[in-house]
């Protein structure tokens, strides 16, 4: 079987403050929504559409997001798409999440003198804890599922 790729790159604005929780093992996980806009013409008239993307950050990345990201923050993110579902009122609700592997704050206030992002955490993480938190294939805890 040939090689496959599951990669997504987004640049957009955060819709609300991150929701940061911990798994039963104590690993921090942050969820937030990111808005991306696109412009196009329909019947010669300019249109604009906003698409919302659900982002998930693990471990040290979740802690950085909790500390620096607020509603309206501008982010560059790279990650993979992961599909799932949960039950609500007896109905299965499909989900699509971007599991973030790398990100950069694009707001000058968050960046200070330079870019702050997951790469900075990984470089300062000799044990590799941050990267393991991103790559762990953990099953979501019941208390982390959306309601």
Tens of pLDDT, residues 74-130: 999 999 999 999 999 999 999 999 999 999 999 876 555 444 554 554 444 444 444
Question: Is there a domain that residue 104 lies in?
Answer: yes
Residue 2 resides in a domain: no
pLDDT of residue 112: 52
CB atoms within 10 A of CB 6: 9
146 belongs to a structural domain: no
Q: Does 130 or 47 have the greater pLDDT score? A: 47
Length of the chain: 147
Q: How sure is the predictor about 49, in pLDDT bands with cuts at 50, 70 and 90?
A: very high
Model pLDDT for residues 118-133, shown as the tens digit of each residue:
455 444 444 444 444 4
Q: Does the pTM exceed 0.85?
A: no
Q: How many domains does the chain have?
A: 1
Q: Is the dihedral of CA 147, 69, 103, 105 positive or negative?
A: positive
**Residue 145 falls inside a structural domain:** no
Query: Is residue 42 situated within a structural domain?
Result: yes
- Domain range for 14 is 8-140
Structure tokens at 106: 């694009």
Q: What is the pLDDT of residue 144?
A: 45
Answer yes or no: is 147 within a domain: no
Helix (H) or strand (E) holding 134: helix 129-135
The secondary element (H helix, E strand) that includes residue 117 is none
CA angle, residues 121, 123, 126, in degrees to nearest 5: 100
Give me the residues paired with residue 27 across strands.
none
CATH code where residue 30 lies: 2.40.50.140
Residues 93, 78: Cα–Cα separation, whole Å: 25
């Amino acid at each position: 079987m040939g090689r496959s790729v599951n990669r997504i790159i987004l640049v957009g604005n955060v819709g609300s403050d991150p929701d940061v929780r911990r798994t039963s093992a104590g690993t921090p996980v942050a969820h937030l929504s990111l808005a991306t806009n696109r412009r196009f013409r329909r019947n010669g008239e300019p249109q604009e559409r906003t698409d919302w993307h659900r982002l998930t950050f693990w471990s040290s990345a979740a802690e950085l997001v909790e500390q620096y990201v607020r509603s309206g923050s501008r982010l560059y993110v790279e990650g993979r798409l992961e599909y799932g579902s949960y039950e609500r009122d007896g109905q299965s609700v499909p989900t699509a999440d971007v599991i973030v592997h790398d990100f950069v704050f694009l707001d000058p206030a968050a960046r200070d003198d330079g870019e702050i992002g997951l790469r900075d955490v990984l470089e300062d993480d000799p044990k590799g804890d941050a990267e393991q938190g991103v790559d762990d294939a953990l099953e979501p805890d019941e208390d982390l599922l959306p309601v």
